[in-house]
Structure 1
Amino acid sequence: MSIQSIDVKYTAVATAENGRDGRVSTDDGQLDVVVNPPKEMGGSGAGTNPEQLFAAGYSACFQGALGVVARKEKTDISGSTVTAKVSIGSTPEGGFGLKVAIEANIPNVDAAKAKELVEQAHQVCPYSNATRGNIEVTLDVA
């Protein structure tokens, strides 16, 4: 896989203090959160964690991509939702890795068309493009 060249439209800037057990904030002040590992990883679970932030970004971005392809297909997806489940665990090499399960709920669209739209959105979504070939991403239509 080659590095993708893009025409930059926007750059988000965030700074972390103390890694997974500290604080993350954006340069514009719109996001300022305490981060803490989940209890399952030895943390208190008192704050949010990077996996939740990744899931939030991926689900929002994928929903946007779904809207793009639905408009091109002239398909009404109003009331649709996208859930991203981001899991973290140990890799066989001794490091840590992620996997993502995307679940789209598209009411009033038949299952075959919904599946087609989700697969097309997966080709358009920047998060999907960034993770393709790097982590396991599964797609499901509810």
Structure 2
Amino acid sequence: MTPLYTAEAIATGAGRDGHVRSSDGGIDLNLAIPKSMGGSGAGANPEQLFAAGYAACFHSALQMVARTQKVDIADSSVGGQVHLGSNGKGGFELSVLLEVVLPGIEHAAAQALADAAHQVCPYSNATRGNIEVTITVSDD
């Protein structure tokens, strides 16, 4: 692969209770373990960052597919949920739910656009076969 762009970030401190910063300073966040996992919840966490990144990347892929098919999705959105849980083997695993909203687009056509975006999105390609990813099309 010939990179088009390289992102760089460093994590310091105590991992989930540490700090992350991108090399350009665009991300500069304190991290905290979520309250549901016994932490303070007073900062971002890796799952939130992954959910935001995947949602944004998928939305870009969706817009590219729509442009190619000459479909206007100006009021569209993609919401991301990243779930962290036990893998039953002493470790942890992730699953992802993406919710695609395409107002004014018939459900079957919206699902076809989402399915096409799932084939070109770099996050989808990176996770395919590794974690469960569910993509739903919602009317709201």
SS in structure 2 at match of 1:100: strand
- Amino acid in structure 2 at the alignment position of 1:7: T
Determine the structure 2 residue equivalent to 1:55: 51
Equivalent residue runs for 1:37-116 within 5 Å:
37-116=33-112
CA separation in 1, counterparts of 2:61 and 2:128?
A: 15
Among residues 6, 9, 20, which one is paired with 1:11 in the alignment?
6
- What is the SS of the residue equivalent to 1:12? coil
Deviations 1:21-64 (A, max 9, x none): 11000111111000011011111000000000000000000000
TM-score, L = length of structure 1 = 0.95
Number of residue-to-residue matches in the alignment: 137
Deviations 1:100-121 (A, max 9, x none): 0010000011001000000000
* Structure 1, unaligned runs of 5 or more: 1-5
Offset at residue 7 of structure 1 (A):
1.9
Q: 2:115 aligns to what SS in structure 1? A: helix
Q: Does 1:35 align with 2:43?
A: no
Asked whether 1:125 is paired with 2:100, we answer no
Helix, strand or coil at the partner of 2:61: helix
SS in 2 for 1:69: helix
Q: Distance in 1 between matches of 2:122 and 2:59?
A: 11
RMSD: 0.6
Match of 2:16 among 6, 15, 20: 20
In structure 2, distance between residues paired with 1:42 and 1:130: 30
Deviation at 1:94, TM superposition (A): 1.1
